Amino acid sequence: MPGGGQEPGSYYVGVDVGTGSVRAALVDQRGVLLAFADQPINQWEPQFNHHEQSSEDIWAACGVVTKNLRETCWDKAGHFFDLPDFLSWKATGVTARSLCSLVCKWTYSAEKGWDDSFWKLIGLEDFVADNYSKIGNQVLPPGASLGNGLTPEAARDLGLPAGIAVAASLIDAHAGGLGVIGADVRGHGLACEGQPVTSRLAVICGTSSCHMGISKDPIFVPGVWGPYFSAMVPGFWLNEGGQSVTGKLIDHVVRGHAAFPELQAKATARCQSVYAYLNSHLDLIKKARPVGFLTVDLHVWPDFHGNRSPLADLTLKGMVTGLKLSQDLDDLAILYLATVQAIAFGTRLIIEALEAAGHSLSTLFLCGGLSKNPLFVQMHADITGMPVVLSQEVESVLVGAAILGACASGDFASVQEAMSRMSKVGKVVFPRLEDKRYYDKKYQVFLKLVEHQKEYAAIMKGD
């Protein structure tokens, strides 16, 4: 069986002939049922209380179920799609894949194509058959027009005219990057105005975060995915860093605190979100100091779900140092602030890894749900020392997707032209450079936290 990871002969078929049906199962050496099939048996009642069945019919049913075991939701599958390509196929009937999906998720090389040895190594060599027809043998750059556009059936489903252009797609985070990274920044006093687009880092921050940096030549960054050619902006190499949990981590910390019910009640009374209330509460308790200084003795390492970049270590855990016995609203607000800062320090660590490998970055372009939180944005500016550009349209992923459609329609000559025309700067947040020394010290503590965690793990693993 394909993809089973065991030698041939390690599987067993059990057949059960019952009164009403024949059932069969494919079972491995551990007793795990891998596939199931059943087939009804014909019954005749020539007269009341007399029942007959056909031995030939039963044998034929046995043949049906055993064949169905071999022909699994695997052998019968005509195509295997990543979600963006599945949606494109539903819209157009075209099985062409997006270069973004295949390069970032499917080990496809923009230069060399599929690697047969990889599929054979993991037991999926049947993907190679028929010129890769099941996984894609036509690969298009994002924004390329697919087939004859929207099919009549898809047009009815979507309420749109048949035949309108449909673009080769992007993964959602990459669409967000496309929607912000190419904005015209003239007149905003940004260093990147006179620099190439490769000086910009797009950070798509929601439940988790992705850090998208592009370059003219391939740059290999330890712990950071890529480089992928033309996976986001055609003609550029993409490096993709990321944090496994960001918005999810903030929710986890806030909602799990003893003071959360009080916070929720007070926020509701003011018709505010809990985070808007927390931000205003921090402004109340900071007194004369900058708000970030409230965490002088509270520090968080944010990898509650492992580290994706740049340490690429799924065994890492979250850490908090500086807790007290009190659990009031002030404590919750300060822990929330320390968590937001920790996520920003994680971005700083990714930026340092990118720059050490050869990227030259000067400006952050944020989008996604967390970019709507002014505290999150200001902490990223202060902690990285870089200005943060926010898009005029907060739904940057949708703008990025629309840019692809605009290119597919032929209204723009290139993705880059569409980016510069359709991406607009909404707001720029500059770092408070006077607070740099404080954040540099907190960053030193941040790095010590993971260093100590690894030391603790080594102690516990030792004799």
Residue 180 lies in a domain: yes
State the residue for tokens 């790095």. Answer: 447
Q: Are residues 112 and 197 in the same domain?
A: no
How high is the pLDDT of residue 75? 73
Q: Is there a single domain that holds both residue 26 and residue 92?
A: yes
Same domain, 183 and 312: yes
| Last residue of one domain, picked from the residues 138, 157, 182 | 138
Average pLDDT over residues 154-174: 96
Q: Same structural domain for residues 176 and 44?
A: no
**Tokens encoding 450:** 């993971």
Helix H or strand E encompassing 246: none
Q: Answer yes or no: do 233 and 343 share one domain.
A: yes
- Coil, strand or helix: which one is 311? coil
> Which amino acid would we find at residue 384?
T
- The residue ranges of DSSP E strands in 29-84, in sequence order, are 33-40, 44-47, 50-52
Using CA atoms, how far apart are residues 440 and 92, in angstroms rounded to an integer?
A: 52
Residues 352 and 207 in one domain: yes
For residue 153, tell me if it sits in a domain: no
* Residue 9: band (very low, low, confident or very high) from pLDDT cuts 50, 70, 90: low
The rounded distance, in Å, linking the Cα atoms of 68 and 165 is 40
Instruction: Give the pLDDT score at 45.
Output: 87
Question: Residue 5: its pLDDT value, please?
Answer: 47
- E strands, 299-449, are 299-301, 319-321, 363-367, 388-391, 425-429
- Domain extent at residue 57: 11-138
Supply 105's token pair: 């998720």
pLDDT digits (tens, 9 = 90+) for 112-129: 999 999 999 988 888 998
Q: Which tens digits make up the pLDDT trace of 278-309?
A: 999 999 999 899 999 999 999 999 999 999 99
Residue 288: CA count within 13 A, CB half-sphere: 0
The length of the chain in residues reads 463
From the list 259, 254, 317, 308, the residue with the least C-alpha distance to 456 is 317
273 and 320 within one domain:
yes
Structural domain contains residue 309: yes
Mean pLDDT across the stretch 122-148? Answer: 93
> What pLDDT, on the 0 to 100 scale, is given for residue 134?
94
Both 194 and 79 in one domain: the answer is no
402 lies in the same domain as 270:
yes
What's the CATH code of the domain at 384?
3.30.420.40
- Euclidean distance between CA atoms 29 and 9, whole angstroms: 10
Lowest mean pLDDT among 109-123, 235-249, 322-336: 109-123
- Please say whether the beta carbons of 401 and 238 come within 8 A: no
Look at 20-29, 165-174, 218-227 and tell me which has the smallest mean pLDDT: 20-29
Averaged pLDDT, 58-81: 85
- CATH code of residue 126: 3.30.420
Q: Considering the entire predicted model, what is its pTM?
A: 0.85
Pair 94, 233 in one domain: no
pLDDT range class, residue 72, cuts 50, 70, 90? low
163 within some domain: no
Distance CA 41, CA 21 (A): 5
How is residue 366 written in tokens?
A: 């944020």
Give the pLDDT confidence of 349-399 residue by residue, as tens digits.
999 999 999 999 999 999 999 999 999 999 999 999 999 999 998 899 999
Q: How many domains does the chain have?
A: 2
Based on the domain organization, do 87 and 213 belong to the same domain?
no
> Minimal CA–CA distance to 423: which of 216, 202, 194?
202
Does residue 352 sit in the same domain as residue 431? yes
Residue 257 lies inside a defined structural domain of this protein: yes
pLDDT at 4: 45
For residue 426, being part of any structural domain is answered with yes
* Residue 157 within any structural domain of the chain: no
